[in-house]
Amino acid sequence: MADGAGGAGKTPPNRVFRRPPKRTGRLNARLRRSQNHRNDKMTFYSETLKPRLQQARVLVAGDVMLDRYWFGDVARISPEAPVPVAKIDRTEHRAGGAANVARNITALGGRAALVSVAGDDEAGDTLQKLMENCGVETLFSHDKTIATTVKTRVVARNQQLIRLDFEDAPTHEILDSVKQQFRAKLADCDVVILSDYGKGGLTHVSSFIEWARQAGKPVLIDPKGGDYAKYAGATLLTPNRSELREVTGNWQNEADLAGKAQALRRSLGLQALLLTRSEEGMTLYRDGEPHHQPTRAREVFDVSGAGDTVIAALGLGLAAGLDLPEAMRLANAAAGVVVGKVGTAVCTFDELAQSL
């Protein structure tokens, strides 16, 4: 009975089962070729691009801030109000704003000097130490009358629950000190980046542009607000879609967008305008036809600070002697790396080389 009951599952005596042919040899060969390609690519960029980036010097000015992260978990709702209760188990401090631009430059192997305003407080000291640890030459004018701008984010399971902002506008006396430091550092840079977060650190942005042009330095600006007239004479602006829409209004299609972007560029006397478009990549507007590059991001976790990475990589590439489309390619690849990380992040040279 046992044999009869189980006979259907047995191998007939005359049938020979052969193992399928091994394909591991082909697979391993493909993997070896892929690894060799990655190694060759790393070697190529390390020997050609890296030395140029290491010699590039970028002067960064603008609004700095301390990004404070509280990481934890949420398991219940508060009995006091219909809000989640986050149990915090880890805290981190990261550089934000213009400070994040500067640390992205050094992470890619370049040299950065940072001129800005910070409060005479614990947050300002923490931010200065962070920058010095990143290899950034940090020139802060400390204002005793204000608190350093701090953005505190509560994060649970890779989701931001809330952001708390603490900020004050700097005094005119301190801004005069920033102007002096900026002019003093101009001779030691190849490119100037101005990072405007609307916190008051770039009150004298028109003067910065004028001085940089007199010194023969390209000026790249990450803009903020609806008044772009103050950026007239800069080399290039890097607005995102919402920032551009605030100035030009809505567009109907790509042709309409190109018309609005080019009209704005010409009215401000810019050489170029680089529109960052999140999941759609980025588009460069200058004389001639627009130049578009699709996004390089494989997975998007957090877009915080992606604009900082774009302008940092773009400016560093130009400082290293790359032309604008080549520098744009670097910026696009670097942005694709950082949006795959949680929080304000940087792209290292090795990550950039792997992504190119």
Sign of CA dihedral 307, 138, 131, 165: negative
Spatial separation of the C-alpha atoms in residues 220 and 239, rounded to whole Å: 11
How many residues would you count in the chain? 356
Q: In what order do the strands lie in the sheet with 191-195?
A: 137-143, 111-119, 57-62, 191-195, 219-222, 236-237, 272-276, 282-285, 291-293
Catalytic residue among 89, 308, 323, 350: 308
- The residues with which 153 forms a beta bridge, in sequence order, are 69, 163
The yes-or-no answer on residue 308 being catalytic is yes
Sign of CA dihedral 204, 206, 209, 214: negative
DSSP string, 58-111: EEEEE-EEEEEEEEEEEEEE-SSSSSEEEEEEEEEEEEEEHHHHHHHHHHTT-E
Give CA angle at 300 (298, 302), nearest 5°. Answer: 150
From 285, 311, 306, select the one nearest 295 (Cα to Cα): 306
Active site residues: 308
